[in-house]
Chain A
Amino acid sequence: MKRKGAAGWLAHDVTHRGVTAWALALAILGFYVVLYWGDNAQGINPFDRVAWALHIGRHGQSGAKWTLYGALYTAAVTLGGIAFLRRYGHNRYQVVRTIVVIVVQATLAFSVPLMMKMAGHPEHYFSYLWPLKMYYFEPGFIRSNPAPLVLWSFIGSLVIAPVLAVIYGKRWYCSWVCGCGGLANTAGDSFRHLSDKSEKAWRFERVSIYATLIITVVTTALVLASAFVQGAHPQLDLWSEKFRTNYGLIVSSLLSGIIGVAAYPIGGTRVWCRYFCPMAAVLGLFQRAGRFRIRVKEDQCISCGMCSEHCEMGIDVRAYAQANESFTRASCVGCGMCSEVCPRGVLTLENAHTKAPQEQLVQLRLKK
């Protein structure tokens, strides 16, 4: 039952798909629509004017809205992160993770690109990699950027990210570094329980996320191929441009930005990450093959369901816990909240598959 009083009503309503939750979702939706498509004929966005009024960016400069957006996003992550730390400060995993998320957002995802821009360089977001940021594999990016940045983009995407996912699971990225995850786990934390836990949602997730990944790979391949043949096949250029534009509109703007964030009060914080993010799809595959898992302590689960309720990725953790099954799911972002809320301390996140207790006992006997 909700707490007493108007504050109790609001806290419940906004986090349980009430009127205020829908109003909030619509407000976020409106914000993004204006931000993305609200430019007038001169290319000036209402948020540019807001930015100028706040002395963000030069007066009259048209891209000021993005600096304003970055500042707002960083403020949301920081303030939400502080609220999260106040709540879960007793859990050092949550403390370390949240501090890293805030610092990465404030530096790599905000102030570093801003300073680059102010110094006259094209901005670069070191915390974003292909396939999440498809642009970093495109000829346009490769041609116009210094070699170290291009190298970082390729090595980061193709070597570092997969290797880290094999060793630590996808959490090193999805709940420690990525801005989408960062906002979800800080400002969005009160909405995490809204993720759909049904089997149906899981089936949809497996289709949609790999479909997006395939589209991303195909688009990247088309764009690279078209640049490689340099106009020899005009038809290819046409298709490549078509794919690129539609990808930008549908995946980058609509799904990751608008649906991703506006859906917080309705479908939980990880709608984008769970159903569509191509980066999450790739890392999830490496996670399945890697060492990360959630270990379940034998015969100690009381089936209360707090773990499933708090899983932002919609994993029915209780199903595994009550069956004594340690598990690795491709979608798990390793936020560690199932372990945190478990009233009986049944779950733990680990990077190494420890040996079965029987094997350990054999070793203990030998040592004795």
Chain B
Amino acid sequence: MSARRIVILGNGVAGATCALDLRARDDRAEITVISDESDYFFSRTALMYALMDKLPRAGLEPYERRVWERQRITRVRGRVTDLDAERKQLTLADGTTRAYDALVIATGARPRALSVPGIERVRSGVTSFVSLSDLDACESLVATSERAVVVGGGLIGVELVECLVHHGVKTTFVVREPWCWPAGLGAEEGAMVADHLRKHGVDLRFERTVASVEPDASGRVSAVTLSSGERVACEMFGVCVGVEPNVAWLRACKSVPEIDGAIVVDDRLRTSIESVWAAGDCAAVRAGTALVHEPIWYTAKRHGAFVARQLSGSSERYTAPVFKNSAKFFELEYTAVGQCDPRAHKSALWTHKSLPIAARLFHDGATLWGFSALGSRWDTTMIGRWVEERRPLDWARARLREAQFDPEFSRMRVETSAEAWR
């Protein structure tokens, strides 16, 4: 019997993890990774450090290049235009076809476009910040811009703003919500982040959206008008209003798996088409009647590893472990463990008396549901277990000092009395 042909679409963290983990379990399989973005897996999360000259381009790649040759993982640069499930075959944009025995779709997400009046007339100066080509675009735009507007108060928006500030570009940051990232930050933490951004010279505009965009005679963006009517002149306009699953290409295919915003997968990450899996930002896992879509790095990596195990014979069912996420707002690090939506759970907050440090315990009055922290480091493995074991709130609060993870000599004194947590 000839070796199994396994084709992985996308060489982001889900696809690359899947390929490497599969090779570790299956020495014979023919593994091919197809990507139309880059020749080698790179860390999307590090784009900002390349833009700030803190990393060289080669530093973006988490593995030495010869790893792929040594692991016998064939890399193909190209765009897939058709999927034929009956013949188990893919067609690429250049007309070539490629047969598979198992297919893993890990095409990730793409930046959501902004549709506001005027944007169709702008030919340059507008960019997002999620791909290598965005990095190229940002590098040339930063070099030729004095002022910039960034819209979207999420993590990518903050990262782009940090880069612009680093390069001395005067930046107006337009955020629809009353503070940055309310899905993760409470109002108090939001205020700390806003203070921090302002200290770095960011011109913050909360509860504003972009009403229209104007190009100059050459087609380069020249001004952005906000919902307040204010007109901000700029030469660069960063659009960071979130990402959406990269699945539009599938709709033009002969065989289309079930899609509900993202590709719907079952609890073994199988799509509705036989022998086709999906992993990462492009996939949503059906859990009962709900669809769980977590477009974050950690989940994509876990999906990739899970599919690799499936392809090497495992029949385990996918269960998401305790949710963990992290972010950084300029110098302020943020960590979350468990269920940390300030809008959905009760919480108790402790803030440092002088530094921008906050920690929040999410609870139902008795047990711990989640923990989030800003400006300090925590052992999320330990706290994750507390959440998993439904530890009493008081019990967890009393033990918080054990879970501090800041560098030596840098651990601040955390108040553990109930009165200090409001």
Contacts and interface: CB of A to CB of B under 8 A. Distances in A.
A25 B11 CA distance: 40
A308 B59 contact: yes
Query: Interface range on chain A: under 10, 10 to 19, 20 to 34, or 35 or more?
Result: 35 or more
Nearest to B302: A299
A300 B298 contact: yes
A115 interface: no
Contacts of A299: 298, 301-302, 324, 381
A306 B410 contact: no
Contact of A1 (B139, B297, B389): B139
A345 B331 contact: no
Given A93-B408, A302-B43, A357 B59 contact: no
Interface string B365-378: 00000000000011
Nearest to A343: B328
A233 interface: no
B379 A304 contact: no
Contact of B381 (A93, A297, A305, A340): A297
Interface in A69-118: 90-96
Contact of B405 (A96, A304, A348): A348
B187 interface: no
A19 interface: no
Contacts, number: 118
Contacts of B333: 343-345
Contacts of B139: 1
B59 A309 contact: yes
Contacts of A297: 379-381, 405
A9 B326 CA distance: 34
Contact of B410 (A2, A91, A305): A91
A198 interface: yes
Interface residues of B, number: 48
Nearest to A341: B54
A35 to B, nearest CB: 34
Nearest to B379: A297
Contacts of A91: 407, 410
Given A1-B142, A92-B410, A93-B407, A305 B60 contact: yes
Nearest to A296: B381
Given A4-B143, A300-B380, A345-B335, A305 B55 contact: yes
Contact of A3 (B167, B301, B378): B167
A102 to B, nearest CB: 16
Contact of B167 (A4, A199, A304, A339): A4
Contacts of B385: 357, 361
B46 interface: yes
Contacts of B51: 1
Given A297-B380, A345-B405, A349-B408, A303 B62 contact: yes
Interface of A: 1-4, 12, 16, 90-96, 198-199, 297-300, 302-306, 308-309, 318, 322, 336, 339-340, 343-345, 348-350, 357, 360-361, 368
Interface of B: 13, 43, 45-46, 49-56, 59-62, 64, 139, 142-143, 166-168, 297-298, 301-302, 324, 326, 328, 331, 333, 335, 377-382, 385, 389, 395, 405-410
